[in-house]
Structure 1
Amino acid sequence: MPRVVGSLLLVVAAGVSSIGATGPAPGPAPARPLDQVVPAPERVRPGGSPYTLTPATRILADGASRADTREAARIGSYLAGLLRPSTGYALPVGEPKGDRNARDGIRLRLGTGDRNLGTEGYRLESGRHGVTITAREPAGLFHGVQTLRQLLPAPVEKRSTQRVRWTVAGGTITDTPRFAYRGAMLDVSRHFLTVDQVKLYIDQLALYKINTLHLHLSDDQGWRIAVDSWPRLATYGGSTQVGGGPGGYYTKAQYRDLVAYATSRHLEVIPEIDMPGHTNAALASYAELNCDGVAPPLYTGTAVGFSSLCVPKEVTYDFVDDVVRELAALTPGRYLHIGGDEAHATSHADYVAFMDRAQAVVAKYGKTVAGWHQITGATPAAGAVAQYWGYDATGSAERAQVAAAAKKGTRLVLSPADRVYLDMKYDRSTPLGQSWAGYTEVDRSYDWDPGTYLAGAGVPESAVLGIEAPLWTETIATSDQMEYMAFPRLLGVAELGWSPAASHDWDTYKLRLAAQGPRMTALGIDYYRSPLVPWPAG
């Protein structure tokens, strides 16, 4: 289907006006209630007159400082880029200073408001004269803009002028997230995904207030990031993928571009280099990383657990140091993920020894270690983040190991495979995906509580940093395939991460989810029409 990469949305089309409309907008229609968005807002107070956008609507950027005003204007330009194509309105972006009608239109206020809004919260107030979004930090203002998008009719997402009355219901939303970490992981190793494909996914994540993009950059089937000190990692190790094919890798300039694009959408990028297992692409590229000094052939299958860096060799740590140093320099975010899962070809003693040294390298270059929850079988570094991917049937011993680390300060990101692994089939008829963790319909991915998921093992909610939905790509190679597996389950993950636990209810959520169907269609998202959801006809 035709696609518009999200970077085009930032174009400022100041010359656009309502001239492109094909007639007057339809008469009044019921505005979407303020609480009918995803994720569900924390507090909603409906009431008062609605606001309707017109050809005279302006976007007014206001800040507590000049820097805040500039950032509010940047977010305002992003919003205008979203709204201009469908409304046909000019939507000029400016400051309210000296404007006699400054209260009319869409006002973005940054650096002021309730301290309880924190770094990502916002307040949205809608009335007869306009919509005001207030936040203390840019991320909160950006999230408020995403809520405004959802309060407007779904055709607002289309890229051509629509004959629609653009009305926002009256009232106030005050909204902050439950968890600080709300993530999605994209496996670009099993099948390489282009910069434009990743950017498109970033835009889709941003709409639902996801704030972290975890990029799985290396595995047995492909190495996807250029490393100057070890160039064959990308040029040779990145030359294939599952099932064969050309593979690919990101140059440093492309990776920086991806990180900057994610940052503009208030997503933090966490790069992952999986070690000491899942390393065949590296072992094939450099013979000296193998204990026997012999490079194995490139690998295009899907089996796991057969590869390992040579832990006793000192060159292994030269490799780790170089890769981490170069990747850390490219990545402004706080974390660097070192994998650590399914290291079946590494003895336990070697695994512990390797993790001790690899974690020290990450700290040396100013990053916080993240890893799959198997790192709790070693000695997690102070402040480390363990990503739990066990499932409901995971044994008590493994859960106890994770709980013991949490009690010593290791923070947890929850990614239970039978709940939020987006590559799991919906049911046995799903044409894509895998089923080793079972089938995961839309209700199952939503109907659990991250705060209490590991409570039986002794993990309190305070140890849970957040939630992440991984999308592994053994069977996935195109954006349409990604969307079919991710949507609509990703919306439920976003809500579990953002909304208060008391608001989680499948029966009411599925109605709000159904209302997102026309929006996803307008965006060109090829989502799975779950029979459990009462999607609108047509």
Structure 2
Amino acid sequence: MSSFVLLPEPRSVSETDGAFTITTGTRIVTDRPELGDYLASVLRPATGFELAVSTGAAAEGDIVLEINPAIEGVEVGNAAEAYRITVDRRTIVIDAPADAGIFAGIQTLRQLLPAQIDAPAHAAGEVAAVTIVDAPRFAYRGVMLDISRHFFGVDTIMRVVDQIAAFKFNHLHLHLSDDQGWRIEVPGWPELTRAGAATQVGGGEGGFLTTTDYEQIVHYAASRFITVIPEIDLPGHTNAALVAYPELAPAGVTPEPYHGIDVGFSTLDTDSERVFGFIDDVVGHLASVTPGPYLHIGGDESHSTQPEDYRRFIARATRIAAAHGKLPIGWHEIGSSDDLAEGTIGQYWGSIAPEAGAAEQARSIVRQGGQLILSPANAVYLDIMPEPNFRIGQEWTGSPTPLGGVATWNPATLISGVDESVILGIEAALWTETVETSADIDTLLFPRLLAVADLAWADAVNDVESRVQDLLPRLAAAGIAYGPA
């Protein structure tokens, strides 16, 4: 029986006799110094050892990180993040075709060590002899954090980055604007962060990210091989923007700051050229400070926008994003337009038993040449309560989503007529109407997020509930205030 539990589950695990022990003399040998420094930063607090990062020839007792473009067996899946770990009594070697694969292998190595490795406990570091060859099923494995309903700043967001990186998520989607607050600085539009950022659900002072804050988050995430995706929700979910600039509202609308949680009541004036100039400025600024390929334009729950106006607006908004060099992403409602910019990606947030309209909108996006990100709300919306009458969370999906309900669907068959080849990946979402603290984030994300990680990475989900249970001590050692398991 294995002495370790791995999640996400690797493609291939072959155990042999013996173990490698990290000692005072262990070095990390690599010509990828940033990766070596990262691994050392993970291991030093728990082991108490120096773990010098060195170049040159490896010796017995060392941990080796190296690029190897031709690892047998990693041609399957998404090879950019493929890796191999080889552990015997003499060395640990993590090799991969690219740096992202080495980073993924480091996360697996962490799980091969005792749970206390994630705490400053000076634990002995013994790793069972094993060979693991692995690559992810989906290229996109994401987590969305809503900082609009309640605002969360740089430190909290970077903490989430570290948490999700440990389970091989590689995208962080930041929901930066909504009815309750505008959360990102935009040059030339100062009222967005003076008036538009001053509210949140239930009142309170709100807040926003400066451009420097946002760039710090993007840089930090990139050091963990995580791509940041900014979202400005349009044309609905825009009350905060309209409070800041009432001239963007339809004629006769006088917006007031909003502290509630209802949706669908706001809309931009879709006939106004000033509105499109505003969108061009916002999208252009975000594109300039976001090195990743994606920019999310929202598009959901625009109930106050006339259907024809909505379709015309979305087509133009996707083209604005594309003109700034980004692949547009929008919630699946954007598929009601048949004139999306080339390559526009849809994010499906309907049920795991799709309603006909939502499924057809998703298929429309695919027919127009786009791909899909899957975020079925009654499975991977982690703001939904994990059990009845839980102290935080919502139940608008009709019932709670316990750990056992997260991975009970097959991405390949979720939407009829959509082949797995056009599924970019899976994203868990945390909306923050009821989430006020970093501990609240922990409690709703974990441990259910581990099941999402398995679904997004592994070819098939096996015994996920029992494997998550086995990893709870690791969450506790990392200081994660996880919820019901």
TM-score, scaled relative to structure 2: 0.96
Contact conserved, 1:84 with 1:91, CA < 8 A, in 2? Answer: yes
Report the alpha carbon displacement of residue 171 of structure 1 after superposing the two structures with TM: 1.7
Matched, 1:38 2:10: no
1:224 to 150, 158, 183: 183
Report the alpha carbon displacement of residue 478 of structure 1 after superposing the two structures with TM: 0.6
Residue 490 of structure 1 is matched in structure 2 by 449
Aligned mates of 1:340, 1:377 — CA distance in 2 = 10
Gaps of 5+ in 1: 1-29, 62-68, 531-538
Aligned mates of 2:129, 2:246 — CA distance in 1 = 66
1:104 to 51, 61, 72: 61
Contact conserved, 1:382 with 1:409, CA < 8 A, in 2? Answer: yes
Matched, 1:321 2:276: no
Residue 11 of structure 1 is matched in structure 2 by none
**1:229-378 matches, cutoff 5 A:** 229-292=188-251, 295-378=254-337
Aligned mates of 2:273, 2:349 — CA distance in 1 = 31
Gaps of 5+ in 2: none
Aligned mates of 1:316, 1:397 — CA distance in 2 = 29
**1:365-404 matches, cutoff 5 A:** 365-379=324-338, 380-404=340-364
1:129 to 63, 66, 90: 90
Contact conserved, 1:187 with 1:215, CA < 8 A, in 2? Answer: yes
Deviations 1:293-343 (A, max 9, x none): 654111111000000000111101110110011110010000000000000
Matched residue type, 1:141: I
Residue 52 of structure 1 is matched in structure 2 by 21
Contact conserved, 1:222 with 1:238, CA < 8 A, in 2? Answer: yes
Report the alpha carbon displacement of residue 399 of structure 1 after superposing the two structures with TM: 1.0
Residue 514 of structure 1 is matched in structure 2 by 469
Matched, 1:118 2:79: yes
Aligned mates of 1:157, 1:398 — CA distance in 2 = 42
Aligned mates of 1:519, 1:207 — CA distance in 2 = 11
Contact conserved, 2:345 with 2:365, CA < 8 A, in 1? Answer: no
**Secondary structure in 2 matching 1:171:** strand
Contact conserved, 1:286 with 1:295, CA < 8 A, in 2? Answer: no
**Secondary structure in 2 matching 1:142:** helix
TM-score, scaled relative to structure 1: 0.87
1:420 to 380, 399, 402: 380
**1:145-156 matches, cutoff 5 A:** 145-156=106-117
Residue 204 of structure 1 is matched in structure 2 by 163
Contact conserved, 1:185 with 1:470, CA < 8 A, in 2? Answer: yes
**1:46-85 matches, cutoff 5 A:** 46-61=15-30, 69=31, 72-85=32-45
Matched, 1:143 2:98: no
Matched residue type, 2:341: A
Matched residue type, 2:477: A
Report the alpha carbon displacement of residue 397 of structure 1 after superposing the two structures with TM: 3.2
Deviations 1:341-361 (A, max 9, x none): 000000011101111211111
Contact conserved, 1:274 with 1:338, CA < 8 A, in 2? Answer: yes
Distance change in 2, residues 1:31/1:349 (3 Å):
closer
**Secondary structure in 1 matching 2:450:** helix
Report the alpha carbon displacement of residue 529 of structure 1 after superposing the two structures with TM: 3.2
Matched residue type, 1:368: L
Contact conserved, 1:287 with 1:293, CA < 8 A, in 2? Answer: no
Aligned mates of 2:55, 2:346 — CA distance in 1 = 44
Matched, 1:411 2:371: yes
Distance change in 2, residues 1:320/1:498 (3 Å):
same
Residue 534 of structure 1 is matched in structure 2 by none
**1:82-93 matches, cutoff 5 A:** 82-93=42-53
Aligned mates of 2:394, 2:155 — CA distance in 1 = 25
Matched, 1:481 2:436: no
2:151 to 182, 192, 195: 192
Deviations 1:111-130 (A, max 9, x none): 53326272101000000111
Contact conserved, 1:288 with 1:294, CA < 8 A, in 2? Answer: no
Report the alpha carbon displacement of residue 458 of structure 1 after superposing the two structures with TM: 1.1
What CA RMSD, in Å, does the superposition of the two structures yield over aligned residues?
1.4
Matched, 1:529 2:484: yes
Aligned mates of 1:408, 1:255 — CA distance in 2 = 32
Report the alpha carbon displacement of residue 443 of structure 1 after superposing the two structures with TM: 0.6
* Identity across the alignment (%): 46
Residue 15 of structure 1 is matched in structure 2 by none
Contact conserved, 2:25 with 2:61, CA < 8 A, in 1? Answer: no
Distance change in 2, residues 1:250/1:293 (3 Å):
farther
**Secondary structure in 1 matching 2:132:** strand
**Secondary structure in 2 matching 1:119:** helix
Aligned mates of 1:237, 1:148 — CA distance in 2 = 45
Aligned mates of 2:89, 2:61 — CA distance in 1 = 9
